[in-house]
Amino acid sequence: MNSATAWNRRKLLRIGVAVGTVAAMSRLSWSARAAETPLKVDIVNTASNNTFTLQELMKQQGYYEEFGLEPTTLNVADGSKLMGALLSGSSDICFLSGFGQVLPAIEKGGALKLVAGAGLLLPDAIYSKKPEIQTLKNLEGRTVGTGSPGALLHQFTTSLLRKKGVDLTKVQFVNVGSSADVFRAVVAGVVDAGPALVDVYDDQAKYGVHSLKDGDLWTGLPEYTYQGSYASTRAIAEKREALVRALAVYGKVYRFISSPQSKDAFIRARVAALKNTGESEGLSEWNWIRKYQPYALDLMLSEERVRYMQELNLEAGVQKKILPYDQVADMSLAKEAVKRLA
């Protein structure tokens, strides 16, 4: 090695160390500033098992304190209440929700924007206790439990059936309620089949049910986005830093639960959040997360995913036209949040 080459290598090494030191100091400086200036943020989320589990996990892991936030969280039962809280100004942002209903609200002038992706894949399967029902096509002439027409459960169930060539006019859809309500109705034989979450997937024999061969939503309908995050344009303009920090918190929890190190913490949080469930359901859900990696680790919600949801709305008649991506989405906050996670 000649002296010039050796000198260049030493110079590059010094530069690399300097850059790394500056980056580390920058992260430490930002963390110190965040700890000194906690910001308030008002969050509204769904009242689902998944949401309660992640909220408890973030609390146990101390993520809000780490990013300098004082959150207030409201959990509500349906999409209209989520949007109502944002539009009224009582809440700033929703993190874990289906967003199909947000798009027509924006079309009608609602001051909302999609700001991030969350759970991208549907964690549901179609279950039945009738041995003769093995495929989706077998549901013709049968009753299927879902939510109300246009609600998340109803929309993704009909989308999957339509995609698999099932004649929807031959299926009787019954408004049962939540996925937990649907599962209880399937087990009781009140309906012939219906969608429910993966937390019972490993315990099908225990409940006397089986998932249909082509009824796993995460593989059968991967283009359907389960959850996104959205905020009021008022909050984006007035509380941008707080929203960025909150997105970083959610991004961190998505990355954590997607890692093998999260198993015990996830199950512990789920048991703490959901008093009527045990460790087996938590393990089943955690195994599914680890295998299929459903969360948007980069917090992005692509233009293709948003367009697909708009196309479903057009088909259902709840939206009149495809809106430009920039009109309905602003991913700049998510990009800022991801930088805080580097």
pLDDT score of 34: 57
Q: Count up the domains in the chain and report the number.
A: 2
pLDDT score of 77: 79
Q: Are residues 92 and 233 in the same domain?
A: yes
Burial label for 14, CB within 10 Å (0-12, 13-18, 19+), is: exposed
Encoded tokens for 129: 């206790």
Task: State how far Cα 23 lies from the chain centre.
Answer: 31
In a domain, 8, yes or no: no
Q: Are residues 216 and 321 in the same domain?
A: no
Q: Are residues 149 and 194 in the same domain?
A: yes
In a domain, 337, yes or no: yes
Q: Are residues 112 and 129 in the same domain?
A: no
Strand partners, 126: 195
In a domain, 128, yes or no: yes
Q: What angle do CA 288, 187, 211 make, to 5 degrees?
A: 40
Per-residue pLDDT reduced to its tens digit, 141-168? 999 999 888 788 999 999 999 999 999 9
Q: Are residues 200 and 263 in the same domain?
A: no
In a domain, 290, yes or no: no
pLDDT score of 251: 98
Task: State how far Cα 201 lies from the chain centre.
Answer: 19
pLDDT score of 179: 87
Up-side HSE of residue 123: CA atoms within 13 Å toward CB? Answer: 29
> What residue numbers bound the domain in which 176 lies?
124-220
0.85 exceeded by pTM: yes
pLDDT score of 48: 86
Q: How far apart are CA 131 and CA 137, in angstroms?
A: 14
Contacts of 194 (CB under 8 A, 6+ apart): 126, 127, 144, 145, 146, 157, 176, 182, 183, 185, 186
Which of 203, 220, 237 finishes a domain?
220
pLDDT score of 84: 92
Look at residue 300 and give its three-state secondary structure. Answer: coil
In a domain, 316, yes or no: yes
| Helices and strands counted in the chain (H then E) | 16, 10
Q: Are residues 102 and 180 in the same domain?
A: no
Which of 170, 187, 220 finishes a domain?
220
Q: Are residues 111 and 172 in the same domain?
A: no
In a domain, 22, yes or no: no
Mean pLDDT in order along the chain per 10 residues (342 residues): 47 47 48 71 92 96 96 88 93 94 95 98 97 98 91 92 97 92 96 95 95 98 97 97 98 98 97 89 95 97 98 92 98 98 85
DSSP 105-164: HHHTT--EEEEEE-B-S--EEEEES-TT--SGGGGTTSEEEESSTTSHHHHHHHHHHHHT
Q: Are residues 316 and 213 in the same domain?
A: no
Which of 205, 220, 235 finishes a domain?
220
In a domain, 3, yes or no: no
pLDDT score of 4: 46
Question: Domain holding 212: CATH number?
Answer: 3.40.190.10
In a domain, 13, yes or no: no
Q: Are residues 179 and 306 in the same domain?
A: no
Q: Are residues 273 and 212 in the same domain?
A: no
Contacts of 263 (CB under 8 A, 6+ apart): 283, 286
Q: What angle do CA 231, 319, 233 make, to 5 degrees?
A: 20
pLDDT score of 31: 55
